[in-house]
Amino acid sequence: MAAAKKTMQRQGFKTGEFVVYPAHGVGQITDIEEQEVAGYKLELFVINFAQDKLTLRVPTSKVESAGMRKLAEPARIEKSLKTVQGRARIKRTMWSRRAQEYEAKINSGDLISIAEVVRDLFRSENQPEQSYSERQLYEAALDRMAREISSVKKVSTTEAVTEIEKNLAMGPKRGAKTEEDDQEAAA
């Protein structure tokens, strides 16, 4: 007997809704279930991250401390796209320290922090190559940002990446080579 699942709601979150979980990005609440763990009844959000083939169970009481949140408002999406247009801010510290900071920003779940990582690690064709670890962090941040934008704007992840890259190209000294660059190279 396959009865249609009714929508359940707890703490402002409901089944079927897309949410952001800091360590994993955008997922969908597929169910709210009860489990008994060590003699205690626990109510859990069941969150599915389809792209990662991952299902997470988060106790409804731990939502706030875990940092789970609703998708960003359209205004916040626009602010994140403006952020990637800014000038890269790269601290003059050792790469390992910067990498930890970038990782923390990506896993914070904060869209603006993630946009800062995308902005700081972006390389256009006419810039030097990235190291493998820089590229990995850039890809992770870009993926997180694109997934949230695609969920909010209801477009594909590919379309969201294209939009982010369009905004990155508007940043200072990043776009395609100008005619002056070509003339200097020919000289």
The total domain count for the chain is 2
pLDDT per residue as tens digits for the range 15-70? 999 999 998 999 999 999 999 988 989 999 999 998 889 999 999 999 999 999 99
Q: Are residues 28 and 90 in the same domain?
A: no
Both ends of the chain: CA-CA distance in Å? 77
Given 69, 95, 112, which residue is the final one in a domain?
Answer: 69
Q: Which domain holds residue 134?
A: 72-169
Q: Which residues of 160-184 are buried (b: 16+ CB within 10 A; e: fewer)?
A: bbebbeebbeebeebeeeeeeeeee
Q: How confident is the model at residue 5 (pLDDT cuts 50, 70, 90)?
A: low
CATH classification at residue 24: 2.40.10.170
Assess whether pLDDT exceeds 90 at residue 98: yes
Asked if the model's pLDDT at residue 181 lies above 50, the reply is no
Domain membership flag for residue 177: no
Q: Is the pLDDT of residue 175 over 60?
A: no
pLDDT of residue 91: 87
